[in-house]
Amino acid sequence: MNKPDVLVVGGGVVGCAVALEAAGRGATVVLLERERLAAGASYGAGGMLAPQVEADRPGPLLELGLRARAMFPGWCAALEGAAGLDMGGILRVVATEAGADALRERARWQRAMGLVARLCDPAECAELAPGGASAVLGLWVPDGRVDAHGFTLAVAQAALRAGAQIRLGVPVSRVLDGAVEAAGTRWEAGAVVVAAGAWSGLLCGVPVAPVKGQRLMLRHTGAPLPLTLWSDRCYLVPKAGGRVLVGATEEPEAGFDRRATVAGVAALAAAAAATLPALAAAELEEAWAGFRPAAPDRLPLLGRLPGHERTWLATGHHRNGILLAPLTGLLLAEAILEGAALPAACDPGRLQA
């Protein structure tokens, strides 16, 4: 492809979603990825679609998250592959009275917004999550989950079917206005979209930094966990084949240190067993660490790279990049190809000194 309409940098969930939405609108699209698809955070994320659990208050993150969550059933129905969508809800449990007060307050403001947020007494918690440690109170919300890796690969496949080209093993070294340099070659495009996750800051000089997160994958042979269970200490996300994902540490000081550490694994393993005691006997299948791409205000950067006309940013999704990917793809494709406005709260210009 000589000069594509859209050139995407990064083959994580966000880059693949932008490629799919742009190609689906008839644009010519090339995606450049330096390693393999889902080489970054999108490989090992919890996959929770959790705007109601993640948001501590009303605001733009919750609004974007709710819009994004509503897109998943339609999106996943159109994908081929093991996206693992389940909209069976998330149960957040607390073990202290202070935690219960906070949960009641969360239920109050979410209901005031017209959202479903159901408080559950200990008996209801035990029914929803059999085998869970005793809780003082629970809050069930209609959030969901996917398999982050499977979803990302399925989105990439759909982008290919829509006509996008995906080039793997191509490290982009420089981002220009409407062009990039990669492995000694200059690639021109109608529009460039930087979706390089936690590395976007290194590529473009924007304030996006890695927030390291470790998580475990456990092989659990006991009674399957029927829904995502979020306690004071960790979250447990059911995965295919009886597996349970345990997340996650938050280590902003660790930079790009990719190692799963003894301290991280020990803390997560103890938290998992405290939340669902049967997991003490589970097999540790994988310990993994990835990097959430985070802006100082923890909101995404969606819009033109400041000072550029034809280079755009789709990054900074922090803890919610799997959830926000379909919406990001849609918003960027509409903005680039149709001139639609992007959410003001996500304007990259807000972070300029």
Ligand X SMILES: Cc1cc2nc3c(=O)[nH]c(=O)nc-3n(C[C@H](O)[C@H](O)[C@H](O)COP(=O)(O)OP(=O)(O)OC[C@H]3O[C@@H](n4cnc5c(N)ncnc54)[C@H](O)[C@@H]3O)c2cc1C
Whose Cβ is closer to ligand X: residue 172's or residue 335's? 172
Which residue's CB is nearer to ligand X, number 5 or number 33? 33
Three-state DSSP string of the chain: CCCCCEEEECCCHHHHHHHHHHHHCCCCEEEEECCCCCCCHHHHCCCEECHHHHCCCCCHHHHHHHHHHHHHHHHHHCCCCCCCCECCCEEEEECCHHHHHHHHHHHHHHHHCCCCCEEECHHHHHHHCCCCCCCCEEEEECCEECCHHHHHHHHHHHHHHCCCEEEECCCEEEEECCEEEECCEEEECCEEEECCHHHHHHHHCCCCEEEEEEEEEEECCCCCCCCEEECCCCEEEECHHHEEEEECCCEHHHCCCCCCCHHHHHHHHHHHHHHCHHHHHCEEEEEEEEEEEECCCCCCEEEECCCCCCEEEEECCHHHHHHHHHHHHHHHHHHHHHCCCCCHHHCHHHHCC
CB of residue 230 vs ligand X: minimum separation in angstroms? 10
Sign, CA torsion 32/34/37/40: negative
Complex with ligand X: residue 100 or 166, whichever CB lies closer: 166
Number of residues that bind ligand X (CB under 6 A): 42
The binder of ligand X chosen from 103, 248, 287, 295 (CB under 6 A):
248
Residue in 4, 5, 12, 282 binding ligand X, rule: CB under 6 A: 12
Report the distance separating Cα 200 and Cα 117, nearest Å: 36
Q: Which stretch binds ligand X (CB under 6 A): 111-119, 183-191, 262-270, 285-293?
A: 285-293
Q: Does 149 bind ligand X (CB under 6 A)?
A: no
| 332 makes contact with ligand X (CB under 6 A) | no
Binding of ligand X at residue 51 (CB under 6 A)?
A: no
Any contact of residue 290 with ligand X (CB under 6 A)? yes
- Give 14 or 346: the residue with its C-beta nearer to ligand X: 14
Which string of x and - marks every residue 192-221 that binds ligand X (by CB under 6 A)?
---xxxxx---x---------x-x------
Q: Does 147 bind ligand X (CB under 6 A)?
A: no
Based on CB atoms, which residue is closest to ligand X, 243 or 317? 317
What is the smallest separation between the CB atom of 182 and ligand X, expressed in angstroms? Answer: 7
Residues 30 to 49 in contact with ligand X, rule: CB under 6 A: 32-35, 39-42, 45-48
Least Å distance, CB 306 to ligand X, is 19
Subset of 311-330 contacting ligand X (CB under 6 A): 315, 317-323
| Cα–Cα distance list, 230 to 84, 109, 184, 298, 308 (Å) | 19, 19, 47, 21, 42
Closer residue to ligand X, CB minimum distance, 122 or 178: 178
Other Cβ atoms closer than 10 A to 161: 14
Q: Under the criterion CB under 6 A, does residue 83 sit at the interface with ligand X?
A: no
Nearer to ligand X (CB atom), residue 100 or residue 153: 153
Spatial separation of the C-alpha atoms in residues 216 and 236, rounded to whole Å: 10
Nearer to ligand X, 35 or 283 (CB): 35
Q: Does 89 help bind ligand X (rule: CB under 6 A)? A: no
Q: How far is the CB of 220 from ligand X (least distance, A)?
A: 18
From candidates 7, 9, 20, 305, binder to ligand X by CB under 6 A: 9
d(CA 46, CA 322): 9
Nearer to ligand X, 322 or 336 (CB): 322
Q: Interface with ligand X by CB under 6 A: which residues?
A: 9-15, 32-35, 39-42, 45-48, 171-172, 195-199, 203, 213, 215, 247-248, 290, 292-293, 315, 317-323
